[in-house]
A and B are shown apart, each in its own frame.
Chain A
């Protein structure tokens, strides 16, 4: 049996091997759960927009609440300039949220617990935001690294720190999500293993922990999706409204 708590993160091939050049692009359990999450999102949105009632039904309320939630988040952090990026941020938030939530189901796979997935999302955001900043402000975008009101002597140091913090954005963004998801799921698994190994006599305490941790993990799943989306908004804000 899979008593190893890291076993749940294993990726394995489903169906035939697909190889293009040197790349192995086979359909895996990770791909399957991505598709499950995407289909769940579309199903929710489909149900929520099927009947456009003036007094919304419960499912319609959920979709409209998610819309207004993301819209408010973008408006508060990046202002009205970020309006055109709403579809992307909304998709990003929903995708991460649903991947996290689907991962909470027993025997499922958490897509966002893999560093490669979160890193690709983060590096895409990083590159897109950087290009956007240079397109919008030209060479002036480099002012981002020169904060106002800093003494001249400290400036070189500050600029270096700013550049490092800017370049580490994709890493911090991706590691935050990946580490949170992985740590949470590993802990759940470890406590689950304790329940089995301690048996009917001593297993109650870790079982209680497991229940509490499940609640906490659902909170974390939502929170990390929110943090991922709001940090994207903040980076977008830096690129759109240059004011340092």
Chain B
């Protein structure tokens, strides 16, 4: 490609030289100032080379290198921070998990304890109530028995008193009580007392 270009360029040059060369020719081939051009080219090019080599290239390299190292540093820093954050998140999640488990355990234990407590208190209360009921029943029975005996006695007394007042005769206390006894027994049998 470049060879083709240079051939084409040469052809164009030759064409223009032939077309206009009759008047002036190519100033490039005029040797009058060749030495001057070579001289000044060497001077300018060497000075430019020295200045670029010694002054400008180190500066450009420094700025490119420092940017590169800074980018690498920043990337490393970011990676580190990211890892740190991930680790912290993991720790945090673990702590939360532990706390949850603990709370669950405590709640369950408390529930069990409460249930047990309630159960035992219920039992004690039931026993007490039963005992009291039994005691009361016994008392009632006693009272019943006593009251029947008292009533019998009072009834015998009253009946003997009444008969004494009505017919003015002293009746045997035991016989009166026997009569009362039979009457009350009859009544108890009938379910009246």
Contacts and interface: CB of A to CB of B under 8 A. Distances in A.
Contacts of A95: 45, 48
Q: Chain B interface mostly helix, strand, loop or mixed?
A: helix
Contact of A27 (B34, B40, B47, B53): B40
Query: Could you say which of B13, B36, B70 has the most chain A C-beta atoms within 10 Å of its C-beta?
Result: B36
User: B interface, how many residues as a size bin?
Assistant: 35 or more
B63 A115 contact: no
Given A24-B33, A24-B36, A49 B56 contact: yes
B63 A116 contact: no
Contacts of B20: 4-6
A18 B35 CA distance: 11
Interface string B9-33: 1101100100011011111111011
Contacts of A46: 56
Interface stretch (A135-143, A144-152, A182-190): A182-190
A172 B9 CA distance: 12
Given A116-B38, A120-B38, A54 B28 contact: no
User: A interface, how many residues as a size bin?
Assistant: 35 or more
A185 to B, nearest CB: 10
A202 B31 CA distance: 40
B48 A38 contact: yes
A28 B13 contact: no
Interface of B: 2-3, 5-6, 9-10, 12-13, 16, 20-21, 23-30, 32-42, 44-45, 47-49, 51-53, 56-57, 59-64, 66-67, 70
